[in-house]
Structure 1
């Protein structure tokens, strides 16, 4: 049994091969996926060649400790916006010296986020060499585990598409 779906495994292989071919690395700043994105990437044999590390940046204290971005610095963003998630991905990437930073943040469910985002909402971000991409995903579901998996697939897909477009 595996926790990685067939689609996630396909995307991981595509991402891994692209990063290894380019001799580039990624840092992952996760929130509502709870570490699933990094766990998926780490299933690839030899993942240390392209993954620098990851963090589940789920609360203000951990974001403050790792990135110097506490509650006060979050307030202007008004919640898990693409701009906030991009900033976290950039900070994490720069902190660990990777070429790519990817991130997500939202509301897996079953309730609204403290900022009013509905369950099933997440913002995705990619920050790489000369490249910035963001997207919003809304599943329309309040099923927490299903949303976490859907958000994981969405971020892996956005990253794979970005790598394809920046070759």
Structure 2
């Protein structure tokens, strides 16, 4: 994540400032980033006014137990899918006292990819006010650290977009 470190700190600071100004709370639901989004946000002074909680749901079992992802979706679509990313964000919104949630699930590598779901494929979702936005990124096989860092950056962008002149994600 080092190549993205300065960019991530700046984005995380903007997220904390924007949400604090609006009195909104954030929760995260993370798989391939393993809590890196939560860490980026809580590295910023004043984050306690904004960051409600983070769910690190690395395993399918954690996705089901902690945030209510449907086991049938995991079987049918796989953990790295639009359906699961959406359910992660929506489940985190139900499970937390938050106004906006962001989720990330992907294949950071070096193993685990396939032709249909290559290393570098990451699905994101942002939920707010009954609206869930999905975003798919194909970063390519940049290496595990770079994929995870890029994913944190995109998740922070989604959180910023969720409050930038719009009522929902």
**Higher mean C-alpha deviation, range 117-126 or range 2-11:** 2-11
Distance 1:59 1:152 in 2: 19
Distance 1:3 1:143 in 2: 12
1:24 maps to which residue?
24
1:67 maps to which residue?
67
The CA deviation string for residues 109-131 of structure 1, in whole angstroms up to 9 with x for no partner, is 11234895111110011101254
| Paired residues of 1:106 and 1:113 also in contact (CA < 8 A) | no
**Higher mean C-alpha deviation, range 15-24 or range 126-135:** 126-135
1:85 maps to which residue?
85
1:47 maps to which residue?
47
The alpha-carbon deviation at position 3 of structure 1 amounts to 9.2
The CA deviation string for residues 86-134 of structure 1, in whole angstroms up to 9 with x for no partner, is 1111111111121111100010011234895111110011101254221
1:33 maps to which residue?
33
TM-score (norm 1): 0.88
1:12 maps to which residue?
12
TM-score (norm 2): 0.87
| Paired residues of 2:102 and 2:158 also in contact (CA < 8 A) | no
Distance 2:23 2:92 in 1: 19
| Paired residues of 2:73 and 2:83 also in contact (CA < 8 A) | no
In structure 2, runs of 5+ residues without a counterpart are none
In structure 1, runs of 5+ residues without a counterpart are none
1:110 maps to which residue?
110
Quote the RMSD (CA, aligned, Å). 2.2
Distance 2:89 2:110 in 1: 25
Count of residue pairs brought into register by the alignment: 166
**Higher mean C-alpha deviation, range 70-79 or range 47-56:** 70-79
Distance 1:46 1:98 in 2: 16
Q: The residue matched to 2:149 in structure 1 has which SS?
A: helix
